[in-house]
Chain A
Amino acid sequence: MARIVLDDLAHSYRPHPAGPDDYALKRIDTVWEDGGAYALLGPSGCGKTTLLNIISGLLIPSQGRVLYDETDVTRLPPEKRNIAQVFQFPVLYDTMTVRENLSFPLRNRGVSPSDTATRVMEVAQALDLVAVLDAKASGLSADAKQKISLGRGLVRSDVAAILFDEPLTVIDPHLKWQLRRKLKEIHDRFKLTLIYVTHDQVEAMTFADQVVVMYDGEIVQIGTPQDLFENPEHTFVGYFIGSPGMNLLPVTMDGEAALTGSSRIPLTPALAGKARAAAAAGAKLELGIRPMYLGLEDAGVDYGVAARINLVEDQGDCRIVTVSMGDVTVKARVPEGRAIPSQEARAVFPPEWTRIFADGRLLK
């Protein structure tokens, strides 16, 4: 087990990258602590697989270093690093039995037959594969096949980390939930470093202590699930985490207030100052607020922004209200029992929950 340091990494799949758009990973400089359970969350194409492949050694980065503890492994091939990786789709050795599949990584490393048998048994028990140990792997269901792939990742006891690249995509929802819990258990028991790629926020939130959010080749935020929810540092995090995601409105500054269309949204003086500075420097400004913090009041009150209720969706413990303010729409999450104005209303942006993002990044 080890602490994994990514030192100023960048990667381009092109031989002669010209601009930043040619890079699949733009600049990654981060540390994965020993024994952490990390979820790597991000939209399709943001570079998650690329990052994992660089950590495991399947790819050599165009720039930067990968360290396991103090050792520089940037140029070592995967078999010379101590790392396990599980892929999105099951990879099996068709002609082997389940037992042989699970023993394969150990056999290749010259682990003694008795140790191999013990480890294989432990993993098979953890993953409910004992009954099929002697069956041909090729004849099994997709679920079982993916469990075998997981098993091959888990079977080595000495790895620096286990990397999972969306390993549960092909698995049915119920079993998915079980397996995720199983992985969590294994993590708690053996204190392995796990890096788990997903683009499902619920999966990321339930699995990980730390969620690493990637966007367009960069890590935009690392934090606990709660952190990400309360203090998104990037518009993508705000929009991606939470259901529905953060409301994001393009704004311009006018004195102490943000303007969207004809609506004036007052900001704290400190934030307004920074926003004006950012706007002066040419940044594109967006105002963000979580639906749960957006207030809706009767049209009579003398604060807030004029708004019109478009749609109310009942979600059991709350209602999601779609509101239009001029030509922009926002969503509000109203707890059960709170009255909702019928048509005309005032949308209230509490300054302590109103955020401003300049070119996607939070102004602090």
Chain B
Amino acid sequence: MEKWDDNKAWFLVLPVFLVVAFSAIIPLMTVVNYSVQDIMAPGQGIFVGPEWYREVLHDPRLHEAFLRQLIYSFTVLAIEIPLGIAVALTLPSKGWKVSACLVLLALPLLIPWNVVGTIWVVFSRPDIGLAGVTINELLGIPYNYTADPMDSWLTVVIMDIWHWTPLVVLLCYAGLQAIPEAYYQAAKIDGASRWAVFRFIQLPKMRGVLMIAVLLRFMDSFMIYTEPFVLTGGGPGNSTTFLSQFLTKMAIGQFDLGPAAAFSLIYFLVILLLSYIFYTVITNLGKGVAK
């Protein structure tokens, strides 16, 4: 086949290019611009090169926030994914109960995030909250999420599980529903145990949706902001200050625009990198097992 000298077809890509430019590249470049300058006043910036990057990377408060963030994201993933799978496995597969269960499950996903935070404030308050009072009075365990770092951390984790496990359940449920009946029939004929059915049929067939669930939950939890902001405000101390809250404090609280911009870029790259690693690991998971 001859090639066209006149590659007009490229113009067809132009709209996408423009959209991406305005939605992603130009804002990102502004951040890049800030991250290498010291801004004294609007329009008055001095080029400082990698200075802010160096400062941010050596900031011990950032190290702490980063570690806290990693522990948080992995805790949340380690609970939400298995729990989501377990719940999806127990859901009914046909009849009116399906719709009922799905609607109930989807409810937490429909609540605006700041409202989720507010609900949990009211729910957990040790003086009037249903959970707070129950734990303190009925179980006799001292609990105060505004004062005790461990309590507040646990509260944020449980809130996240309440809020987001339904997403994992819905994804897994969709994956399970897509498995043809013949697989279960063959497994019965082959005398497979319940565990073998899960291990050799359901889990492999859910790999695609699980990957989506892990990536979504990882990225979202890694960027969590609103709910802990409303619930604990990052405290007590810094015990629930995660990366995005740290960033906001830096950019808006202290007006350190340069370091904040440098940090934004690092944050962005870290998420990109970790997501890429997850993706690669999960897509290769199935291939290596039998070898």
Contact = CB atoms under 8 A, between A and B. Distances in A.
Interface of A: 53, 56-58, 77-79, 83-85, 87-89, 91, 93-97, 100, 104-105, 108-109, 136, 149, 152
Contact of A95 (B182, B188, B290): B290
Contacts of A95: 200, 204, 286, 289-290
Contacts, number: 60
A149 B200 CA distance: 15
A149 B287 CA distance: 21
A262 to B, nearest CB: 54
A60 to B, nearest CB: 13
B190 A108 contact: yes
A152 B290 contact: no
A226 to B, nearest CB: 34
A52 to B, nearest CB: 10
Contacts of B188: 57-58, 77-79
Size bracket, chain B contacts: 20 to 34
A104 B290 contact: no
Q: Is the interface of B mostly helix, strand, loop or mixed?
A: helix
Contact of B182 (A84, A87, A94, A105): A87
Contacts of A88: 182
A133 B196 CA distance: 21
18 contacts: A57-B188, A83-B189, A85-B186, A85-B189, A89-B182, A91-B186, A93-B204, A94-B286, A95-B204, A97-B290, A100-B290, A104-B200, A108-B191, A108-B196, A109-B191, A136-B287, A136-B290, A152-B186
B185 interface: yes
A234 to B, nearest CB: 30
B183 A91 contact: yes
A96 B200 contact: yes
A108 B290 contact: no
Nearest to A53: B185
A104 to B, nearest CB: 5
Interface of B: 180, 182-183, 185-186, 188-193, 196, 200-201, 204-205, 286-287, 289-290
B1 to A, nearest CB: 31
B187 to A, nearest CB: 8
Contact of A93 (B182, B201, B287): B201
Contacts of A104: 190, 192, 200
Contacts of A105: 189-191
Contacts of A93: 200-201, 204
A104 B200 CA distance: 10
A88 B189 CA distance: 14
Contacts of A58: 185, 188-189
Contacts of B191: 78-79, 105, 108-109
Nearest to B186: A91
Best-buried of B185, B191, B193, B196 by chain A (most CB within 10 Å): B191
B192 A91 contact: no
A216 B186 CA distance: 26
Best-buried of B180, B190, B200, B290 by chain A (most CB within 10 Å): B190
Nearest to B200: A93
Contacts of B190: 104-105, 108, 152
A97 B287 CA distance: 11
Nearest to A104: B190
A85 B193 contact: no
